[in-house]
Structure 1
């Protein structure tokens, strides 16, 4: 890891609401609400769902994801990764002039709010969730914070998929049912894969800049061409997993509606091929996040439809 050597050339601060909206990095929030929706719909097949718990879990997950994005913004600036020329929706500090301490304070405020909501969730389910929730929040911080950020290693995709995909689905299921089923675990896997794919797409886009700053992401480790192949394999694994679940009658036939998101995944993969400039890869990165959104919602719709037919 290299110390920050950047010179502060930040513009005057803007207080436009759109600056704060971009600070949340809304295209990444799909990694928070899709798992909550899938986990809750799975629970609907086991018990009557409490909407208050669903809403609390959804808001808490969005707050943790938002805090993670703000920590990313803060530490990328502190380590000199962001500049006014950086491509992406981030850059509220370098392009919009927000004070770094303001961004950091907002991140901790989001975590604080998530913790308060977590108290309510635990009081209605199990206090053991306080431990799991704390670990998830710590993972969000240490993704870019601390002396050994996860984002600087080849394990970023694994951490994101596990904590923001797999674990969130199981918590969303557990708070409604009081249990964790094998079916919930198996359905959580393809969603976790696609959450990890969002991060891989981001790292493919930022590969050259990250390499210069000393990061060792998976994309850097395997190279751009192989990183794109890994992304394709992740898409294929998620879709084939759903097909296998249907064939083995773990989930109903209607969950194959999730395969309608295949064209978006194809568009995402094709969008990276032959591209080397970050700006050229932005549409592909967006399509990767949209694949996760479409897949998750179609999967949830398929589970719902199967209960009615």
Structure 2
């Protein structure tokens, strides 16, 4: 931090310490409200004491962005800023905040003792503008930007984070494998559908991820980790309703493209599409959470296996076959293994919190065996297809990723159920295996076509 910013920070903290109340504007539309609160804190963190008003809690959960002002001597001395607000809970849980407020404003004692169920609203400022001059505030206003705020992504970066772009490879690989497999199809292939397939897959993946991010941020929702979701809403980076409607819009776009494919190929595509949409909603936990331990794993297995890959194959060729069916099961199994790998390190905590996951249901030994099976079945299926001469010889390239798989399996084998934090990198290892398996399979199919 440079000298000038340090001076602005100290001046803002000084004004905050010298002023007993703060005015906070929060919420959007019908939820918009303005509250005057007693507060304590500094220019980097402000803790406000709010009345037991459910509207305040709901407004902050819907949109964490707030504006605030402190009037030390209008119009010459005042402070205005914007930031992200989080409702921490009841004031009884934070006695130090009560003590800080009373030390600054002893007259607040009747308010704090008379009104029950007071809450604490924490504000993390993004920027603070200061007015401290004799020119009625008309001169240039110094602005303090906290270090934590500087590290936040810009608006475009926040939306990119909410889309879960780091998980797009999960749905692109099954489509890619289906296209490469279609090179060997004994029927005429509708190559014009390749680009729409990629777009529809991305729309479904993005929509599901956004809805899952939205539901995970709702109160009283307890879920274990999900693929692709982020802390964009939990950290107050975006309005919850905007993310929700953006997710629905992406799903609607995917459904529209899917209906065009139904017009091209008929009822099989419609059936697979309906299964895919239902699976996506189950995974997202919207509009209702399915109280089944393995619902997420099944949704991932079906959605990224038979629906994404087999559906893409059928749109391109108009026929089914044993080879695409078995390969779709292989890809789906690895995708389910990735979700399982995300949840294995937290199996103990999930069990204690009664969060329903396959790992918590099976307990450590059963969860470990399930991981072995999900990682091993794809190689068995591929080996059987190669022995049956249903795939070109180049697809033996897939077995180059066996060392990656073995490393992940060895990590699980050596893991101590009392120290599962050692598995913190298992999801990354499994993701590399999934990506390598799919890309090498696609490459082998392409090389087989080019050399045939």
TM-score under structure 2 length normalisation: 0.60
Shift of 1:125: 2.7
Name the counterpart of 1:296.
Answer: 438
CA contact under 8 A between 1:161 and 1:193: conserved in structure 2? yes
Give deviations 1:121-154, integer Å, cap 9, x for gaps.
233332552343133112211222243426x522
TM-score under structure 1 length normalisation: 0.85
User: What is the rounded CA distance, in whole Å, between the counterparts of 1:96 and 1:274 in structure 2?
Assistant: 36
Does residue 210 of the first structure (1) align with residue 350 of the second (2)?
yes
- Where does 1:149-160 land on structure 2 (aligned, <5 Å)? 149=290, 153-160=293-300
Question: Does 229-238 or 56-65 show the bigger shift?
Answer: 229-238
Q: Which has the larger radius of gyration?
A: 2
Does residue 307 of the first structure (1) align with residue 449 of the second (2)?
yes
User: What is the rounded CA distance, in whole Å, between the counterparts of 1:139 and 1:132 in structure 2?
Assistant: 10
- Distance of aligned partners of 1:96 and 1:266 in 2 relative to their CA distance in 1, 3 Å threshold: farther
Question: What secondary structure, in the 3-state scheme, does the structure 2 residue paired with 1:145 have?
Answer: coil
Question: Residue 43 of structure 1 is aligned with which of 138, 162, 182?
Answer: 182
Q: Which 5+ residue runs of structure 2 have no aligned equivalent?
A: 1-60, 62-86, 90-120, 127-152
Does residue 197 of the first structure (1) align with residue 372 of the second (2)?
no
Give deviations 1:46-80, integer Å, cap 9, x for gaps.
14544431111111112111222122211111134
Name the counterpart of 1:221.
Answer: 361
RMSD: 3.1
Shift of 1:213: 4.1
Question: Does 35-44 or 129-138 show the bigger shift?
Answer: 129-138
User: What is the rounded CA distance, in whole Å, between the counterparts of 1:185 and 1:69 in structure 2?
Assistant: 26
- Distance of aligned partners of 1:234 and 1:167 in 2 relative to their CA distance in 1, 3 Å threshold: same
- Where does 1:259-274 land on structure 2 (aligned, <5 Å)? 259-272=399-412, 273-274=415-416
User: What is the rounded CA distance, in whole Å, between the counterparts of 1:73 and 1:61 in structure 2?
Assistant: 18
Name the counterpart of 1:177.
Answer: 317
Q: Which 5+ residue runs of structure 1 have no aligned equivalent?
A: none
User: What is the rounded CA distance, in whole Å, between the counterparts of 2:386 and 2:123 in structure 1?
Assistant: 53
Name the counterpart of 1:104.
Answer: 244
Between Structure 1 and Structure 2, the one with more helix by share is: 1
User: What is the rounded CA distance, in whole Å, between the counterparts of 1:12 and 1:98 in structure 2?
Assistant: 15
User: What is the rounded CA distance, in whole Å, between the counterparts of 1:155 and 1:11 in structure 2?
Assistant: 37
Higher relative contact order (CA 8 A, sep 6+): 1
Name the counterpart of 1:31.
Answer: 170
Name the counterpart of 2:428.
Answer: 286
Give deviations 1:251-288, integer Å, cap 9, x for gaps.
22221211111222233334453487787544220221
- Distance of aligned partners of 1:25 and 1:277 in 2 relative to their CA distance in 1, 3 Å threshold: farther
Question: Does 187-196 or 271-280 show the bigger shift?
Answer: 271-280
Shift of 1:291: 1.1
CA contact under 8 A between 2:364 and 2:417: conserved in structure 1? no
Shift of 1:294: 0.9
Name the counterpart of 1:147.
Answer: 288
- Distance of aligned partners of 1:130 and 1:244 in 2 relative to their CA distance in 1, 3 Å threshold: closer
Shift of 1:17: 2.3
User: What is the rounded CA distance, in whole Å, between the counterparts of 1:192 and 1:285 in structure 2?
Assistant: 16
- Distance of aligned partners of 1:219 and 1:11 in 2 relative to their CA distance in 1, 3 Å threshold: farther
- Distance of aligned partners of 1:10 and 1:45 in 2 relative to their CA distance in 1, 3 Å threshold: farther
- Distance of aligned partners of 1:301 and 1:278 in 2 relative to their CA distance in 1, 3 Å threshold: same
Question: Residue 244 of structure 1 is aligned with which of 384, 387, 396?
Answer: 384
- Distance of aligned partners of 1:249 and 1:235 in 2 relative to their CA distance in 1, 3 Å threshold: same
CA contact under 8 A between 1:11 and 1:97: conserved in structure 2? no
Give deviations 1:189-224, integer Å, cap 9, x for gaps.
211110111111122134344334432211001223
